[in-house]
Structure 1
Amino acid sequence: MNFILYDGIEWNKLFPITLTRPVSEIRLGLFSIKERWEKYIGKNVDCVITQPFLSDKFSKKEYSFFENILLINSSFLPNEELIQILSFLKENETIFFKEKMIAIKKNFSLEEENILSLFSKKYKKTYCVKQIIHIQYPWDIFINNETVLKKDFIFFTKGKKSFSLLGNNHVICKDKIFLEEDIKANNIVLNAQYGPIYIEKGVLIMEGSVIRGPVSIGKNAILNVGSKIYGGTTIAPFCKIGGEIFNSVIFSYSNKVHDGFLGNSILGEWCNLGAGTNISNLRNDYKKVTVWNYEKKIFSSTNLQFFGVIMGDHSKSAINTQFNTATIVGVSDNIFGYGFPPRYIPSFFLGGIQSKKRIPLNKVCETAEIVMNRRNKNFSVLDKKILEYLYQISDI
Structure 2
Amino acid sequence: MQICFFTDNKALNFNPLTLTRPLDDLRIGIFSLRRKWEYRLKVNNTCRTVLPYLEGEFPKGTLNKTDDCLWINSRCLPDQQLIHHIQKLQTGQALTHNKDIVAAKVDGDTSSRLFNNNQFDPGVVDQTSVVESRLIENVWDLLTYNADEIERDLTLTNLSALKPSRHPSLVTSASENIYAAEDVTIEPGCIFLANEGPVILQQGVTIQAGSILRGPVSVGENSTVKMGARIYGGTTLGPFCKAGGEVANCIFHSYSNKGHEGYTGDSVFGQWVNIGAGTNISNLKNNYNTVKLPHWDSKQEVESGQQFLGTIMADHSKTAINTKLNTGTMCGVSANIFMSGFPPKLIPSFSWVGSSDMQTYHFEKALETMAAMMVRRNKELDSDYQHMMRHLFKNR
Shorter chain as denominator, the TM-score bin is over 0.9
Identity percentage over the alignment?
35
Q: Give how far 1:123 is off.
A: 4.3
The residue aligned with 2:94 is: 94
Aligned to 1:228: 230
1:178 maps to which residue? 179
> Structure 2 residue aligned with 1:246, among 210, 234, 248?
248
**SS of structure 1 residue aligned to 2:57:** helix
Q: Which residue in 1 is equivalent to 2:75?
A: 75
Whichever residue aligns with residue 183 of structure 1, its letter is V
- Distance, in Å, in 1 between the alignment partners of 2:28 and 2:65 is 32
Q: Contact 1:72 / 1:102 at 8 angstroms: preserved in 2?
A: yes
Q: Distance in 2 between matches of 1:14 and 1:300?
A: 13
Q: Deviations over 1:109-137 (max 9, x none)?
A: 5456864664253745532212x221221
Q: Distance in 1 between matches of 2:196 and 2:208?
A: 22
> CA separation of 1:118/1:203 partners in 2, compared to 1, >3 Å: closer, same or farther?
closer
1:121 counterpart SS class = helix
Confirm or deny that 1:145 pairs with 2:146. yes
How far apart, in 2, do the equivalents of 1:163 and 1:301 lie?
42
Q: Is the 8 A contact 2:329 2:344 kept in 1?
A: yes
Which of 322, 325, 328 matches 1:323? 325
Check 1:114–1:253 CA distance in 2 against 1; reply closer, same or farther (3 A cut). Answer: closer
Bigger drift between 142-151 and 120-129 goes to 120-129
Aligned to 1:215: 217
Distance of 1:6 and 1:118 partners within structure 2: 6
What's the counterpart of residue 360 of structure 2?
358
Shift of 1:78: 0.6
- Given the superposition, is the C-alpha separation of residues 114 and 121 from structure 1 closer, same or farther in structure 2, using an over 3 Å criterion? farther
1:294, distance to aligned residue in structure 2 (A): 2.5
Question: CA, structure 1 residues 118+375, in 2 after alignment: closer, same or farther (shift >3 Å)?
Answer: closer
For 2:26, the aligned partner's letter is I
Answer yes or no: is the 8 Å Cα contact 2:46–2:61 preserved in 1: no
Structure-to-structure mapping, 1:116-155, within 5 angstroms: 118-119=120-121, 121=123, 123-130=125-132, 132-153=133-154, 155=155
Q: What does the per-residue CA deviation read over 1:350-376, in whole Å, with 9 as the maximum and x for residues that have no partner? A: 024612111111111111111100111
Distance in 1 between the 2:381 and 2:309 partners? 32
In 1: Cα distance, 2:86 partner to 2:203 partner = 33
Moved more, 180-189 or 65-74: 65-74
What is the DSSP-based 3-state SS (H/G/I as helix, E as strand, rest coil) of the residue aligned with 1:190?
A: strand
Matched residue of 1:226: which SS? coil
Cα pair 1:340 1:353 within 8 Å, conserved: no
Alpha-carbon deviation of 1:46? 2.3
Match of 1:33 in 2: 33
Q: 1:336 aligned to 2:338?
A: yes
Give, in angstroms, the shift of residue 90 of structure 1.
Answer: 1.1
Bigger Cα displacement from structure 2, 327-336 vs 84-93: 84-93
The answer on whether the counterparts of 2:266 and 2:310 sit within 8 Å (CA) in structure 1 is: yes
- For the residues of structure 2 that align with 1:227 and 1:111, how far apart are their CA atoms? 51
Given residue 160 of structure 2, which amino acid in structure 1 is its aligned partner?
A: K
Partner Cα separation in structure 1 for residue 234 and residue 150 of structure 2? 7
Q: Deviations over 1:77-118 (max 9, x none)?
A: 111111001112111110111200011111225456864664
- 2:96 partner SS: strand
Inter-partner Cα distance in structure 1 for 2:216 and 2:230: 13
- Deviation of the 1:156 alpha carbon: 2.5
Distance 1:206 1:61 in 2: 40
1:163 Cα deviation after fit: 4.8
Normalised by the length of structure 1, the TM-score is 0.94
Determine the C-alpha separation between the residues in 1 that align with 2:285 and 2:355: 20
* Amino acid in the other structure paired with 1:178: Y
Q: What is the CA-CA distance between 1:268 and the residue it aligns to? A: 0.5
Partner of 1:95, secondary structure, is strand
Would the alpha carbon gap of residues 113 and 203 (structure 1) be closer, same or farther in structure 2, given more than 3 Å must change?
Answer: closer
Aligned to 1:203: 205
Q: Give the Cα separation in 2 of the matches to 1:133 and 1:197.
A: 24
Residue of structure 2 equivalent to 1:105: 105
The one-letter code sitting in structure 2 at the alignment partner of 1:370 is A
The offset of 1:347, in angstroms, is 0.4
Counterparts of 1:19 and 1:68, CA distance in 2: 30
Q: Is the 8 Å Cα contact of residues 81 and 129 (structure 1) preserved in structure 2?
A: no
Instruction: Give the secondary-structure state (helix, strand or coil) at the position aligned to 2:86.
Output: helix
Listed one character per residue, the Cα deviations across residues 279-317 of structure 1 (whole Å, up to 9, x for unaligned) are 010111111121101232221223111111110000000
Aligned residues: CA RMSD:
1.8
Aligned to 2:313: 311
Match for 2:48: what amino acid?
A: V
Distance in 1, Cα, partners of 2:195 & 2:378: 38
Question: Given the alignment, which residue of 276, 279, 286 partners 1:277?
Answer: 279
Letter in 2 for 1:296: S
Counterparts of 2:348 and 2:65 in 1: how far apart (Å)? 39
Within the alignment, does 1:386 sit opposite 2:388 as a pair? yes
Judged with a 3 Å threshold, the aligned counterparts in structure 2 of structure 1 residues 262 and 125 are, in CA distance, closer, same or farther, namely farther
Q: 1:116 to 1:50 in 2, by over 3 A?
A: closer
Q: Which runs of 5+ in 2 are unaligned?
A: none
Query: SS in structure 2 opposite 1:300?
Result: strand
Q: Look up the equivalent residue of 2:90 and give its one-letter code.
A: K
**Alpha carbons of 1:113 and 1:312: their partners in 2 closer, same or farther (altered >3 Å)?**
same
The Cα shift of 1:58 comes to: 1.3
Query: SS of 2:264's equivalent?
Result: strand
Q: Is the 8 A contact 1:4 1:45 kept in 2?
A: no
What letter is aligned with 1:335? Answer: I
Preserved CA contact (<8 Å) 1:24 1:75: yes
In the alignment, residue 4 of structure 2 is paired with which amino acid? I
SS at match of 2:368: helix
Partners of 2:27 and 2:100 lie apart in 1 by 22
